Amino acid sequence: MKLDYLLLDVFTREPLKGNPLAVVCKADGLLDDEMQAIAKEFNLSETVFLQKAQGARNTAAARIFTPAVELPFAGHPTIGAAVVLGLQSKATAVRLEEKIGLVTALFEKADKRSGEARFTLPQMPGKLAALEDHKAIALALGIEMDEIGCGAYRPAVYSAGVEFHLVPVRDAGVLARLAPNMGIWRNAFPHGRGGVYIFTETPREPNNDFAARMFSSDMGLGEDPGTGAAAAALIGLLAEHVPYASGQSDLAIRQGHEMGRPCRITVQLRKEDEVLTHAAIGGHAIIVGEGVLDLSR
């Protein structure tokens, strides 16, 4: 069995920046454990497998795997898959069947190997729980208790398909010197797969509104350079604190700078009468390589 694949850098316009992604094309016929083994072989934060769509109007089905687990939804594989399919089909809209449901992405070509995609979240973000044990959070992140919190933001668990513990910290300096202690991680972050999105406001930085880092205990990731599903969950928290009852915000999040893999994630939210009615994630992606998986025996 031979399978063509592409390597992309997502949430960036530059090669060798952003979040790496493997896209396995024409992956029909692969078993679940084979896809999981291939994702482990690539050992990237995520690998997406493109298959024939079940719906006649849809572009493709997408299965998303970290090195350890399958995810029902993830942002940077969705962006990367949409860019690949947009470049291949020359379409301006891509409809992806994911485990979470149908995801429609708008695509704009930049050149023959890069472009930008934006998609409306298939599931609106919602709050699942508060995080009250700030002492445990501080110990797990290697910071002081009084460094937790940023403006009106307080720690909580949100999900837009994948659960994340959202932890605001005082400033970018605190964010830069996090020292995660995975030995006590689950004491502080018991929900889902232990994914934690630590973020702060960046009022003095000209090109973004927030900075973030993401760590996980159970996804096989360690630290992730750019996490669209976590940014999607964050939209739910942001929506509670925007200073309007009805209106729209377009915001940018930087992530991955501490890893030397800078990402820029754009988020969009709209409220009507205090209710979040629209949420979207966007970013650029560029193809940096291609190859063939040879699984012959």
Where in the sequence numbering do the catalytic residues fall? 46
Distance CA 54, CA 102 (A): 11
How many whole angstroms from its chain centre is CA 81? 13
Within 13 Å and on the Cβ side, how many CA atoms surround 292? 5
- Tokens 């910071």 map to which residue? 143
Distance CA 12, CA 289 (A): 15
Phi/psi at 74 (nearest 5 deg)? -160, 150
Q: Which among 201, 204, 208, 206 has a CA at the least distance from the CA of 174? A: 201
Cβ(136)–Cβ(184) below 8 Å? yes
**CB atoms < 10 A from the CB of 23, how many?**
25
Distance CA 131, CA 1 (A): 48
Query: Using CA of residue 240, residue 74, residue 11, residue 167, what is the dihedral sign?
Result: positive
Cβ(50)–Cβ(41) below 8 Å? no
Using N-to-C axis directions, what is the helix angle for 75-89 and 228-239, rounded to 10°? Answer: 120
Query: Which helix (DSSP H) or strand (DSSP E) does residue 104 occupy?
Result: strand 101-111
Burial of 179 (0-12, 13-18, 19+ CB in 10 A): exposed
